Amino acid sequence: MLGLLLAVLFLVKMSSTATPSERVLEQLKLLAGDYIETAQLKQIIDDFSTDFNEDDEQTFEQYIIKPLKNLSIAFVVVDFQNDFVSGSLSVKEGDAKEDPDKALAPLNRLLKESDWEMIVYTQDWHPSNHISFCEHAHDTDRILCPEDRNKTFEPFEKVCFEKPATQQVLYPTHCVQGSWGAEIHPEVHISSDSTIVRKGTDIYVDSYSAFTDNDGISKTVLDDLLKENSINAVVACGLAYDICVKYTIKDAKKLGYLSAIVSDCSAGFSVSGISEANLEFRQSDVAVLNEQQAADLSLRRFVPIEWIRSLASAHAPN
């Protein structure tokens, strides 16, 4: 009892004698948990203001500390569908040789044992003659560019269409609406009160992101759903890490959500694609987490340094 009283008195004394930057640092250390070194947090404060004063402290409190203390996080499971696990477009057939089955156990633990404000599952949901399907590249309802009209195509080639005017990577037929391949893999835990968002439903445009089509014109319902539920952060995982998961989380970041991806609950298709994705994540303050970090984030035991840095950069004095 005496020890507790002394600790309280020490904190009270420290708060009255500490500098503004020291007070902010103590709050950041509580948010960061055991994952982030104090020196990294100090650097964020120094970058925010070289002469950190009480006005800076108030700004930091309002725009960085307060949002991080009031996180509302959506966990988005991207395209964990039969065709991407073991079907016509299995991720494990890519040169990265990453097996989606290995992501199932950590994914299901995060779905069952963590504490997310919202859980969303996405599905590629294509018409049977979708523009991305290799076998339909020569269909009469679309016109290839002159240089491609007489070619025979193989999956993963990029082709030019004159109508609709687009460049398109061709894939094996996959995730056709209502098919077995389009179903969420049966071993993925489906949480109660979760939401399913479908994408890629337009015949003539592909949709890697769960937020919008590849042309950035037609939106899915995802952004509206997140806003209706007062979500301010998105944690995503799924298939494929370097394609649909990447584009989903990049769009989340563009739309203003604090954004993270869970690497061991995902599987990537190509070595180069995974490397490029990770570089893009680092450059845009998208946090790359493992299962344990994601679980601790959901339970508010940890906040990624990328999120702290992103908010601090956005609100630093000019």
CATH number at residue 191: 3.40.50.850
Same-domain status, 50 and 93? no
| Residue 260, in any domain of the structure | yes
Per-residue pLDDT reduced to its tens digit, 225-282? 999 999 999 999 999 999 999 999 999 999 999 999 999 999 999 999 999 999 999 9
Q: What is the mean pLDDT of residues 94-114?
A: 97
| Residue 151, in any domain of the structure | no
Rounded CA separation 282/260 (Å): 11
| Residue 245, in any domain of the structure | yes
**Cα angle at 22 between 314 and 13, to 5 degrees?**
140
Same-domain status, 55 and 192? no
Same-domain status, 84 and 226? yes
- pLDDT of res. 7: 44
For the cut 50, the answer to whether the pLDDT of residue 4 exceeds it is no
In the predicted model, what is the mean pLDDT of the chain?
94
Same-domain status, 92 and 227? yes
Rounded CA separation 267/282 (Å): 18
- pLDDT of res. 16: 61
Q: What is the mean pLDDT of residues 3-9?
A: 47
Q: What is the mean pLDDT of residues 29-40?
A: 93
For the cut 90, the answer to whether the pLDDT of residue 3 exceeds it is no
The answer to whether 241 and 277 have CB atoms below 8 angstroms apart is yes
| Lookup result for tokens 């199932």 | 104
The answer to whether 245 and 236 have CB atoms below 8 angstroms apart is yes
The answer to whether 85 and 42 have CB atoms below 8 angstroms apart is no
Same-domain status, 111 and 56? no
Same-domain status, 213 and 251? yes
Q: How many domains is the chain partitioned into structurally? A: 2
Same-domain status, 256 and 223? yes
The residue segments making up the domain with residue 25 are: 19-71+303-318
For the cut 50, the answer to whether the pLDDT of residue 8 exceeds it is no
Identity of the amino acid at 15 = S
| Residue 263, in any domain of the structure | yes
- pLDDT of res. 17: 83
| Residue 309, in any domain of the structure | yes
| Residue 87, in any domain of the structure | yes
Residue 310 backbone dihedrals phi, psi, to 5 degrees: -60, -45
Residue 41 tokens, joined:
């947090």
Same-domain status, 100 and 188? yes
235, 238, 242, 243: CA torsion to nearest 10: -100
For the cut 80, the answer to whether the pLDDT of residue 318 exceeds it is no
Same-domain status, 27 and 96? no
Per-residue pLDDT reduced to its tens digit, 67-76? 999 999 999 9
Per-residue pLDDT reduced to its tens digit, 151-194? 999 999 999 999 999 999 999 999 999 999 999 999 999 999 99
For the cut 60, the answer to whether the pLDDT of residue 9 exceeds it is no
For the cut 90, the answer to whether the pLDDT of residue 13 exceeds it is no
Same-domain status, 36 and 114? no
The whole-model pTM stands at 0.92
For the cut 50, the answer to whether the pLDDT of residue 20 exceeds it is yes
Angle, helices 101-113/291-298, rounded to nearest 10 degrees: 20
Tell me the C-alpha to C-alpha distance, in Å, between residue 308 and each of 154, 172, 313.
45, 41, 9
3-state secondary structure the chain: CHHHHHHHHHHHHHHHHCCHHHHHHHHHHHHHCCCCCHHHHHHHHHHHCCCCCHHHHHHHHHHHHHHHHCCCEEEEEECCEHHHHCCCCCHHHCCCCCCCHHHHHHHHHHHHHCCCCEEEEEEECECCCCCCEHHHCCCCCCEECHHHCCCCCCCCCEEEEEECCEEEECECCCCECCCHHHCECCCCCCCCCCEEEEECCCCCCCCCCCCECCCCCCECCHHHHHHHCCCCEEEEEEECHHHHHHHHHHHHHHCCCEEEEEHHHCECCCHHHHHHHHHHHHHCCCEEECHHHHHHHHCCCCCCHHHHHHHHHHHCCC
> Which residues are designated catalytic?
79, 199, 244
pLDDT > 70: percent of the chain: 95
Same-domain status, 193 and 238? yes
| Residue 49, in any domain of the structure | yes
Beta bridge partners of 190: none
Is the bond leading into 18 cis (omega within 30 degrees of zero)? no
| Residue 294, in any domain of the structure | yes
Same-domain status, 217 and 310? no
- pLDDT of res. 192: 93
- pLDDT of res. 15: 54
